[in-house]
Amino acid sequence: MSGADTEKEPAAYRRVVLKNASPYHYMKVRLVLEDESTKLSAVELKQFIVTGLNSLYGEAGAALTFDLLKYDEDTLTSLLRVYSRGLVKLWSSLTLLGFYQKRACAFRVLQVSPFLLALTGNSRELHLD
C-alpha cells in the first residue's frame, strides 16, 4: 500500500443543539405569607398570580396561559405549567408580588424544569440511610 491509500478523509462532525425542546416549563413555588393563618384556595391563588401578571405586563400579560397543576393549601406549595416562551414573564411577576390582602408575602421558586419528572424529587431533601 502506498501512503495515498492509507490516508482517509477527515471525519465530519456536526453539532446539533436542541434549544428548549420542551414546549412547557414547570415551576414548583411556595407562597410565604406574613400572616400564616391566611389560607388561599386554588382559585384564589391562580387569581392572585393573574393579578400580578396584569400589574406588571398589563392585559397582554394577564392573558398569559399557565396551569395550576397541583396545589397544597396547607403548605401553600403549587406546581405551575407555563409555555416556555412565557416562563420569564411568569417568574418575574411572581417575584414582584409583595402583598396579599395588604399583608406582606413572597413567592419562593423552589424548582424549575422543562421536565415534570424532574420536580418529583429534590436532591437537597434526599435522606440516605
User: What does the pLDDT profile of the chain (129 residues) look like in tens digits?
Assistant: 555 556 777 778 777 666 667 899 999 999 999 988 889 999 999 999 999 999 999 998 889 999 999 999 999 999 999 999 999 999 999 999 999 999 999 999 999 999 988 888 766 676 776
Q: What is the pTM of this model?
A: 0.77
One-letter-per-residue 3-state SS of the chain: CCHHHHCCCCCCCCCCCCCCCCCEEEEEEEEEECCCCCCCCHHHHHHHHHHHHHHHHHHHHHCCCEEEEEEECCCCEEEEEEEHHHHHHHHHHHHHCCEECCEEEEEEEEEEECCHHHHCCCHHHCCCC
Indicate the domain borders of the chain.
24-114
pLDDT score recorded for residue 118: 84
Distance CA 36, CA 57 (A): 29
Pick the CATH number of 24-114 from 3.90.228.20, 3.30.70.3250, 3.30.300.30, 3.30.70.1520: 3.30.70.3250
